[in-house]
Chains A and B, each alone.
Chain A
C-alpha cells in the first residue's frame, strides 16, 4: 500500500469544480494526474469533464489543458504531439481524457486514426455509459438493458436492446502497445496502470469505469460501492494488455450476482418490475459470466494469482 498525497495544494486537479456530488469521473481525474505527474498537456473533448471544469475564468486544472470540440480529441492530441516533436519538447507528454460519447461514438474515427498512426498519446476514456452531460442519452458504451433518455424503458421497451461496444478489444486490434481497463473503485490499480502506460511511447488506452449517481440513479455516497459491484459481478472486467497480450487481470474474490449490481441502480429498475424486464436479466448475467471465463477473473485456490 502506497501513501498518496492528494491535498489540494499538491493536487494537479483541485477542488472548486462543478461536478455533481459523487461524480466518479472527477475522482478518477484527480488520481490519474497524480500518476502522470505535472509534465502533461491534457486534451478533453466536449462532455461532462469539459463542462464541469471550464466555466470561463475558473479552472481546477493545474496542468495545461485544452478543450476544442466533441469529436476531435484524438486529432487535437495528435497536433500537440506533432508540435512537441517539432519543437524538441520530449519531456512534455500528451494525455486525452474523454467520455464514452466522444470515445465510443462521435470521436471514434479520429481515435482509430490516432491509434493507427502510432501517435504518442495516452487516451483515457472516462466511461459512465451514456451522454450524461446532455441528460443521459444512450451511447455505444451504454450496457444492454439500461434505460436512457433516448431509449427509455416503457410498456414496449426494456431499455437498450444492444450490448456495450467492446472498445478495448477494438483498440487492441490496432496493435496498440498498452490497453487497460480500470475502475474508480480501485484507485491504486488505476494509478498503477496510468504510471505503467506513461512508461511506453506511442498510443496507449485506458478505459475507466466511472459510476454516475445522477445518470445511473443511485445515491452519491455509493459511487465506489457501485464501481466495486460492477467489477465483482464480472460486467466490468479489469485487465491489462501489453503488446496485445493480457499481462494482468484483477481477480474477483467474492463474485456477486449481476442482479445485485443492477438492482442498486435506477437505470435498471424496470428489469425487476415486470416479467419482460426479468426475462432480460439472464442475458446480462451471461455477459458477466463470459467476461469471467474470457479473462479468467475468478480467483482460484492457487496463491499469487491475483495481480493488481
Chain B
C-alpha cells in the first residue's frame, strides 16, 4: 500500500477514477465538481491516464456520451452538480432502463432559483426515483473508496445500473484530507476490465432501446427494482472484497453510530454525519443517550438496516438538506413510509437543515436533539418538518 497522502477531495476522486481505468470520460464544467474533471484532464494531458476524454457542449450530452460508450462496451465516467445533474435527469432515467452501468460523481449543490453554488442535497435527491444507485459519503477517504467500488457495483451482472457517488460540494471536494491510496495492482484485482455480456457490435447485431407496450413495460420497470433489491446484498459482498484490499471495512449500506442504547437517533447522509458524530460524543459525555444512523446507500433504500438500528429508540430526528415542496424532506418520507405499521416504531421528526450551504454545526445538532426531546415530552405528533434556523424576520 502507498503511504497516505494529503490531497484535495476532488484529486482523490480523480485518482480513484484513474485507478478504475475508464475507457471514456465525458466532461462539462459546473461548480463545484470541476476540479475532478480538470484533474482527470491533466492526467490525460501528461500521459498518466489513457482514456477517451470528450469535452461536450452540455450535461445532457455528458450523460449521453456515457450512455453511448457504455452501450458499446466501455467503462465510462463523469462528474456533475446541481443544474447539470437536473439536465442529465432524462438521460439517467433512459440509461437505467437500458441497464447502462456508468458512474457519475454527484457533487452536491443547491438547485436554482435563487442560484447558489453552495451545498445541499436537492440536486441528487431529485434523482432518487430514477433507478440510479446512490451513495452519500462522509469523508474524502470514503469518497475515494466508494468510487473504486462504484464501478464494481454498477457492472455486476446482477445489478447493471448506473451508480452515483454523492459528495458534498466544497466541504469534501475542496478540502484537503489524509487519504490512503490503493496500489494499482490491488485495484486491478478488485476491478477487472469491463466485459459486458451484451454490447453494440457488428458481429452480433442487436436492437437497443425498443418501444414497449403495456404488455411488457411493467416487467421492465419491475426488473430494475428487483435489481436494486438484489444490489443490497451484492453491495455488502463487494464492501467485503474492498475491505480485503484496503483494510477499510464499510460493512454495509448504513453505519450505525452508538445506536444500541440510544433514546434519540439522528438519521442523516453526507458530510454532516461527521459533525453529528462529534455532537453525539459531546452529548454522551453529558449523559444523553444519542446515536446516529448514517445512510451510506440511499438507493436502494436500506430500510431493513435502518429499522433494526432505530427500533429501540424513542425518537428519530432526520436531518436532511433537501425538501419535497408542499410535503416534507425525502428521507423522512421514506423512513415514515417504511416504519408505518411497526408497533415499536419510534416517532420520526424531520429537520430541514443546511439548505444552500447554511452551516450545520455541533450546536445546531445539539439543538435538534433538544427540540426532539421536547417535542416527545410534550407529545407533539407533528408531520410538519422543522426548518432549522429559519430567519423569521426576513420571511414575507
Contacts and interface: CB of A to CB of B under 8 A. Distances in A.
A284 interface: no
A126 to B, nearest CB: 17
B269 to A, nearest CB: 30
12 contacts: A41-B201, A50-B209, A55-B211, A56-B216, A64-B208, A65-B206, A79-B71, A79-B72, A80-B200, A84-B72, A91-B202, A109-B60
Interface string B36-58: 00000000000000011011111
A268 B95 CA distance: 41
A296 interface: no
B61 interface: yes
A79 B70 CA distance: 8
B30 to A, nearest CB: 16
Given A38-B202, A64-B205, A92-B202, A83 B57 contact: no
Contacts of A82: 23-24, 26, 52, 54, 65, 68-69, 74
Contacts of A83: 23-24, 52, 68-70, 72-74, 76
Quick one: which of B51, B66, B70, B200 has the most chain A CB within 10 A?
B200
Given A72-B64, A92-B202, 17 more contacts: A54-B207, A55-B211, A56-B210, A64-B206, A66-B200, A67-B210, A68-B91, A68-B98, A75-B65, A77-B68, A78-B61, A79-B64, A79-B66, A79-B69, A79-B71, A82-B26, A109-B61
Nearest to A41: B200
Nearest to A39: B202
A41 B199 CA distance: 11
A214 interface: no
Interface string B189-208: 00000000000111011111
What 4 A-B pairs are tightest by C-beta distance, nearest first? A79-B68, A113-B57, A75-B64, A83-B72
A82 B68 CA distance: 9
Interface in A74-113: 74-87, 89, 91-92, 109-110, 112-113
Contact of A78 (B23, B65, B74): B65
B54 A61 contact: no
B90 interface: yes
Interface residues of B, number: 43
B213 interface: yes
A94 to B, nearest CB: 9
Interface string B61-89: 10011111111111010000000000000
B68 A68 contact: yes
The number of chain A residues touching the other chain, given as a range, is 35 or more
B201 A80 contact: no
B57 A112 contact: yes
A77 to B, nearest CB: 6
B5 to A, nearest CB: 28
B205 A62 contact: yes
Contacts of A54: 207, 209-211
A63 interface: yes
Interface of A: 38-41, 43, 50-51, 53-57, 59, 61-69, 71-72, 74-87, 89, 91-92, 109-110, 112-113, 116-117
Nearest to A74: B61
Contact of A66 (B54, B58, B71, B212): B71
A85 B25 CA distance: 13
Contact of A67 (B60, B64, B69, B208): B208
Given A69-B90, A80-B68, A56 B213 contact: yes
Contacts of B216: 56-57
B68 A109 contact: no
A87 B58 contact: no
Contact of A75 (B56, B76, B98): B56
Contact of B91 (A57, A72, A89): A72
B388 interface: no
B94 interface: yes
A78 B68 contact: yes
B72 A68 contact: no
Contacts of B68: 43, 66, 68, 75-83
Given A68-B64, A116-B57, A56 B69 contact: no
B206 A86 contact: no
A79 B200 CA distance: 12
A266 B103 CA distance: 50
A63 B204 CA distance: 8
Contact of A69 (B23, B51, B64, B201): B64
A41 B202 contact: yes
Interface in B1-24: 23-24
A172 to B, nearest CB: 19
A91 B201 CA distance: 11
A69 B93 CA distance: 10
Contacts of A112: 57
A64 B199 CA distance: 9
A117 B202 contact: no
A112 B57 CA distance: 8
Given A56-B216, A79-B66, A109 B58 contact: yes
